[in-house]
Structure 1
């Protein structure tokens, strides 16, 4: 059994289990971001973010940039 790393979300500080070696099972893979949303997130953060923060940033991007 592969052990996954416990990391801290760069945005909110919540501890989460990182499954980068099994990406399809990681909580962040459940959030679908388009290319512009990915770029927006990467302009503000370098590390891993929890699913809740990814959802909030997706909504933030849409509220600022959708016409």
Structure 2
């Protein structure tokens, strides 16, 4: 039985173990977002996202800003 809550990514619906109480150990902590990127994500979604979706949204942000 998992120690933390199993939730679904708001974007892709993939199930993952949320470790909000141990953020540095959570799967989403591998994605380093700037303040502007965090704001962009929060304008699109209210809940938790998996690391893969965070990477995709980060890339979308870069493209929208002409950074890639």
On whether the aligned pair clears a TM of 0.5, the verdict is: yes
CA distance in 1, matches of 2:66, 2:33: 14
| SS, match of residue 4 in structure 1 | coil
Unaligned runs of 5+ in 2: none
- Report runs of 4+ in structure 1 exceeding 4 Å deviation: none
Aligned mates of 1:23, 1:32 — CA distance in 2: 13
Matches within 5 A, 1:1-67: 3-66=3-66
TM-score (norm 1): 0.93
| Structure 1: segments with no counterpart, 5+ residues | none
Aligned length: 66
Report the Cα offset of residue 66 of structure 1.
Answer: 3.0
| TM-score after normalising by structure 2 | 0.92
